[in-house]
Structure 1
Amino acid sequence: MYAYNDFDAAFVAERNRQFRAQVERRIDGSLTEDEFKPLRLMNGLYLQLHAYMLRVAIPYGTLNSAQMRQLAYIAERWDKGYGHFTTRQNIQYNWPKLQDVPDMLDALAEVEMHAIQTSGNTIRNVTADHFAGAAADEIADPRPVAELLRQWSTDHPEFQFLPRKFKIAVTGSPNDRAVTAAHDLAIRIVEKDGEIGYAVLVGGGLGRTPMIGKIINEFVPQEDLLPYVEAVVSVWNLLGRRDNKYKARIKITVHEHGIDEIRRLVEARFAETKAAFNGADLDLFETIKTHFAAPSFTKRPLSAFDRAYDNDPVFRAWADTNLSDHQAEGYAIAQISLKAHGETPGDATADQMRVMADIAQEFGHDELRISHEQNVILPHVHKDDLPEIHARLKSHGLATANIGLVSDIIACPGMDYCALATARSIPIAQEIATRFDELKIEHEIGDLKIKISGCINACGHHHVGHIGILGLDRAGVENYQITLGGDHTETAALGTRTGPGFSADEIVPAIERIVEAYLEHRDSAEETFLQAYRRLGMAPFKTALYGEKADKRSEAA
């Protein structure tokens, strides 16, 4: 993984020094809250419902054990003993005191971390496939590209006050695990005639106006990537609306002008930026790549793995659900679920963070990843170490065998924390997970992604959930809308609303009826929920939710 050089260390130290002085001025009253707001946002500090919240960047979701231990220390020293991992591969601390935030930032800098550009109208933390550098289906590791973009975008003088926030995702696999189509700009590594290049998408995004990104260029050569991305952001920076924040995102700009016109403007701007770069970024890119060399993998027998798999049904269930194929023989990618039934999705205690750090250092080539699905990944583990890893995880509540199942729910903090939320997300996620654990049918249901947002900003990605849940305020009462058929992968699609929403007391039984309808109508145990929905359409699920009359009214309409 990338290691800071002297410039990086000095840059972060100076930013922290400046912010410490700004915090002191806010506390002594020299700065009003309105004056302080843009300064704190540039350093990842929000003011939420009950307290400040510090959002820490985990670039492209990659951590080492020392960094994870420091996150644990910060949680204990200045928060309430836990952190919340987000859909942006960040971690949030929900209870810091303002006077402590500069010390928290200095502690992060000790392990080459920061909170710069995790908020504000700028280019946010660049995300990537959480299996990067390990996935068996990978064309190339996307993390060097993500790191190049991180360095280019950090404190970029032209892009610190954009029309709105700008989110970038990178994937190196044809199977999209990075939700690329829901980003302002996405980069997909592709291969054409033996040459590695990039397909670039623009104009994706969720929120109040969800849109799937459009391909602006099917193949950008490696040497042109950075000037091309700069051209895209530069064109939007000029065209993007600043008169209405709800219409300021690049997705609206693309919609209003059309992808062909945006492509024409970007190509014209690209001719200028390419000449200005003059290839200077290529040497930097080659240097960056050296930081992401694959670990030294070893060949060992699988006796311990085979013995545990054959004789321990609990281990077997975990291995079947939480392991993915690795590109090296004898290795696996292990996903650690932060979705134990009834717990808050994405939360990890300081003790749990330290356990994961210890395991990564001892068994996982000192690498951890945070997924956009709010779980933690051990990207490189030998299969014969997995029984010991599973035992340690189990003793700390981290061995839930539910990756990709109905209880592996993405949920935003909702009205328990967020000042923008209009409904609770966390309790609904907990109740759904608990209910299906009681029914003991998760593994029978199979692959089913439920995503919950507590407001229309869609931080819980509900638009691209197989089952999406949006919490809204209806005359002071929480009401939950359901969408079906969303998809965050390479076949990305936005979900379709089923009809009227449900109260907090009704939403869990409603989800149960949808699942029962799927189990009744699927053509085999191998047909997933999404496949069944695409084959059957909305009708049987709408009938399950609202009854025959509602379905007939829908058909008549």
Structure 2
Amino acid sequence: MYQYTHFDKQFVALRAQQFRDQLERWQRGELTDEQFLPLRLQNGWYVQRYAPMARIAVPYGEISSEQLHVLARIARDYDRPDTDLLAHAQATQDELQAAQPGLTLAAPLLQYGYGHFTTRTNVQFNWIPLSKAADVMELLASVQMHGIQTSGNTIRNITCEALAGIAPDEIVDTRPFAEILRQWSTLHPEFAFLPRKFKIAFNGAEEDRAATGWYDVGLQALRNDAGEVGFTVKVGGGMGRTPVIGTAVREFLPWNQLLNFLEAVVRVYNRYGRRDNKWKARIKILVKAEGQRFIDEVEAEYRAIVEQDGAPHTITQAELDRVSANFVVPELRPANQPSQVDVNSRAFQRWLTQNVRAHRLPELRVVNLSFKRPGAAPGDADAAVLAAVAELADRFSAGEARLTHEQNLALPWVHASDLPALYEQAKSLGLAQPNIGLISDMIACPGGDYCSLANARSLPIAAALMELYQDIDEATDLGPIDLHISGCINSCGHHHSGHIGILGVDKDGKEWYQVTLGGSDGSALSGPAHPGKVVGPSFSAAEVPGVVEAILDTYRDLRLSAAEHFIDTLRRVGHEPFKQSANAARRTDPRASRQSEEAMA
């Protein structure tokens, strides 16, 4: 893992100190709310539906056990609303739930003392009072963490695929490049006030596991015929109101020109991006509108940077070597912990199949801990679980974990001989559900339960579907399915890229949901990145579980065999049969039908 230099540590500590001064001036009335707004946003502090939300960056997903322990402390000591605030929020939730008859919930939704893993390897807390914000930032700085540029119209947290540096199909370990880019982009004076937020993702493997086509800039590592390392640069991807797949503007960019070329891309965006309409301000709109002209402008800017300015941001081999020295294989020793697990049992073997992946080092494995379990929102971890996972990372994975795009957590350095003991301990924590990649491994944003932008709630839908498909035999029979849920068109739940996508919409002041089918994030299973298509009119919350069940029943009826995945059947037969079954399922409660079937059996 990258270790902060003295400069890095000083930089983050001074930023925390600066924020404390800004906060205290705001509390004294010396700064207005309007003046304080950009200052807190630059440090990851939003004000959401009921309380502040803190977003903490985990660059390229790598996190240490020490950092997990600090997140656990924040969840325990700071993520706590006052009694009146929580009572008001709960009353509002009760009113919303009363308006949705027929949708039962597996667990209460408004919970505090939790961290939430996002699709972009950030961690969010939903109940920290702003009066405690400076204390939290100083605590984060003590373990090389911060919330800088996790919000606002800046270059956001840089992401990589979760298997960077450990995947058997890896072409290049992109973590050093992501770290160099993080340092370059943090508080870059020219890009502090872009037309809109700007997100960058790296993928260094043959399979695109970073969804690079959906990013403002997606960087796919490759080697040319001479064996030289470079990147295919895709620009203009994004979800939201207008889903767009990124355009390849450079098929092969030499690695050492990465910063010079990206500076050209962002300069052109900064110069021509729309600032009159935030819905049309993302770079995807500019790329789509201008086409080849945008590419020509980038190339002209890049030539000027290289030829006139002397390519000032060329990455030297010495700098790459310096940063890469932080990303070596850690000291590894088997835990050799005893276990009572029957390694031939169906449960253990199923876990091995679903949750354990191959490693580039033959004696090691990558273990996915599932944060998709009944009684908790997707990606949520309370203080006790965060601390326990830190202990697992220390015992089994050289003190390191990875946050994943799917809102889970992976241990990247596990000895194969330690899998039984790790399984036993993960199971005791409720983190060994063998559902990675299955329908219950769903992605969901916090939605209207927390977010002031949301049109509808995501978590009740996720809870109902989790309850519906908690039978692991049924989920396994259905096979790999990406189910993504967003509470609004901003698509924080990435509904556009789901095989099944669910989008919350506002209809006459009430919560309704659109269903899309056939989306792809670009992985080997899903194929090239592609947005899903809407299958019909919007559905009420109570209808959504029945609609999903009808779609999957149609898949069972139409698949050639159990080996044909949902997405392949959908592409073979088209959307129409699924659209018909979804619309026929309106006003149907699947649990009622199942209870009727059980009564007749």
For normalisation by structure 1, the TM-score amounts to: 0.95
**Which residue of structure 2 lines up, in the alignment, with residue 63 of structure 1?**
63
Match of 2:198 among 166, 173, 192: 166
Deviations 1:148-190 (A, max 9, x none): 1100000101000000000000010121111111100011101
Please give the residue correspondences for 1:335-374 in structure 2 after superposition, counting only pairs within 5 Å. Answer: 335-374=368-407
> Partner letter of residue 141 of structure 1?
D
Cα deviation, residue 301, structure 1: 11
Deviation at 1:440?
4.4
Alignment partner, residue 45 of structure 2: 45
Q: Secondary structure at the match of 1:134?
A: coil
Mean Cα displacement is larger for which, 115-124 or 134-143?
Answer: 134-143
Counterpart residue number, 1:309? 343
State the aligned residue count: 545
Separation of aligned partners in 1, 2:261 and 2:394: 38
After superposition, residues 14-413 of structure 1 pair within 5 angstroms as 14-79=14-79, 80-193=112-225, 194-258=227-291, 260-274=292-306, 275-278=309-312, 281-282=315-316, 283-295=318-330, 308-310=342-344, 312-413=345-446
Provide the alpha-carbon RMSD of the alignment. Answer: 1.9
Give the Å deviation of 1:302. 13
The whole-number CA distance in structure 2 between the counterparts of 1:276 and 1:357 is: 46
> Given residue 336 of structure 1, which amino acid in structure 2 is its aligned partner?
L
Q: Give, as a single letter, the amino acid of the residue that structure 2 aligns with 1:527.
A: E
Deviation at 1:276, TM superposition (A): 3.8
Aligned with 1:368: secondary structure? strand
Describe the shift of the 1:361–1:277 C-alpha distance in structure 2 as closer, same or farther (beyond 3 A): farther
Work out whether 1:485 is the aligned partner of 2:518: yes
Distance of 1:395 and 1:360 partners within structure 2: 15
- Aligned equivalents of 1:439 and 1:289: distance in 2? 41
- Map 1:512-531 to 2 at 5 A: 512-531=549-568
Query: What is the distance in 2 between the residues matched to 1:30 and 1:526?
Result: 65
Q: Which amino acid aligns with 2:367?
A: A
Cα distance change, pair 186–528 in 1 and its aligned pair in 2 (3 A): same
User: Is 2:154–2:198's contact at 8 Å kept on the other side of the alignment?
Assistant: yes
Tell me if the contact between 2:259 and 2:314 (Cα under 8 Å) persists in the aligned partners.
no
Question: Is the 1:51–1:96 Cα contact (8 Å) retained in structure 2?
Answer: yes
**Residues 36-82 of structure 1: CA deviation (Å, up to 9, x unaligned):** 11111001000001111110000011001101111111111111322
Q: C-alpha separation between the residues in 2 aligned to 1:430 and 1:136?
A: 35
Q: Which consecutive residues of structure 1, in runs of 5 or more, have no partner in the other structure?
A: 549-557
Letter in 1 for 2:290: H
Distance in 2 (CA, whole Å) between partners of 1:504 and 1:498 is: 16
Residue in structure 1 matched with residue 486 of structure 2 by the alignment: 453
Q: Any gaps of 5 or more consecutive residues in structure 2?
A: 80-111, 586-601
Structure 2 counterpart of 1:503, from 517, 537, 540: 540
Give the SS at the match of 1:309. coil
**What is the rounded CA distance, in whole Å, between the counterparts of 2:312 and 2:30 in structure 1?**
45
CA distance in 2, matches of 1:393, 1:162: 43
Matches of 1:298 and 1:344, distance apart in 2 = 34
What amino acid is aligned across from residue 553 of structure 2 in structure 1? E
Q: Which residue of 2 aligns with 1:555?
A: none
The alpha-carbon deviation at position 308 of structure 1 amounts to 3.9
**Displacement after TM superposition at 1:296 (Å):** 5.0
Q: 1:519 to 1:302 in 2, by over 3 A?
A: farther
Moved more, 278-287 or 229-238: 278-287
Task: Provide the C-alpha distance between the structure 2 equivalents of 1:191 and 1:535, rounded to a whole number of angstroms.
Answer: 34
Q: Separation in 2 of the partners of 1:363 and 1:168? A: 31
Tell me the amino acid that sits aligned with residue 2 of structure 1: Y
Q: Distance in 1 between matches of 2:360 and 2:336?
A: 17
Assess if the C-alpha contact under 8 Å between 2:335 and 2:396 holds in 1. no
Summarize the Cα distance change of 1:67–1:199 in structure 2 as closer, same or farther, 3 Å threshold. Answer: same
* Structure 1 residues 221 and 304: CA distance shift in structure 2, 3 A: farther
| Separation of aligned partners in 2, 1:281 and 1:199 | 17
Change (3 A) 1:200 1:439: closer
Structure 2 residue identity aligned to 1:62: E
Q: Secondary structure at the match of 1:459?
A: coil
Q: Is the contact made by 1:303 and 1:384 (CA closer than 8 Å) also made in structure 2?
A: no
Shift of 1:343: 2.0
In structure 2, distance between residues paired with 1:177 and 1:542: 29
Q: 1:100 to 1:303 in 2, by over 3 A?
A: closer
Alpha-carbon separation, structure 2, partners of 1:300 and 1:439: 29
- Runs of 4+ in structure 1 over 6 Å off: 298-305
**Distance in structure 2 (CA, Å) of the matches to 1:112 and 1:302:** 31
Paired residues for 1:536-551 under 5 Å? 536-547=573-584
1:495-529 Cα offsets, whole Å, 9 max, x none, are: 01101111011000000000111111111111111
Identical residues among aligned pairs (%): 47
Following superposition, the deviation at residue 544 of structure 1 comes to: 1.1
CA contact (8 A) 1:342 1:434 kept: no
Q: Aligned partners of 1:512 and 1:76: how far apart in 2?
A: 38
**Contact persistence 1:302–1:330 (CA under 8 A):** no
Q: TM-score normalized by structure 2?
A: 0.88
* SS of equivalent residue, structure 2 residue 329: coil
Deviates more, 1:7-16 or 1:161-170: 7-16
Q: Is the 8 A contact 2:239 2:491 kept in 1?
A: yes
> How many angstroms does 1:330 deviate by?
2.2
Q: Report the residue type matching 2:315 in the other structure.
A: D
Task: State the shift of 1:325 in Å.
Answer: 1.4
Give runs of aligned pairs for residues 416-427 of structure 1, distance below 5 A. Answer: 416-427=449-460
Cα distance in structure 2, aligned partners of 1:205 and 1:175: 20
* Secondary structure of residue in 2 paired with 1:292: coil
Instruction: Answer whether contact 1:210 1:463 (CA < 8 A) is retained.
Output: yes
Once residues 343 and 508 of structure 1 are traced to their aligned partners in structure 2, the CA distance between those partners, rounded to angstroms, is: 18
Residue identity matched to 1:29: G
Cα 1:280–1:537, aligned 2, differ >3 Å: closer, same or farther?
closer
Q: Is the 8 A contact 2:434 2:472 kept in 1?
A: no
Aligned to 2:108: none
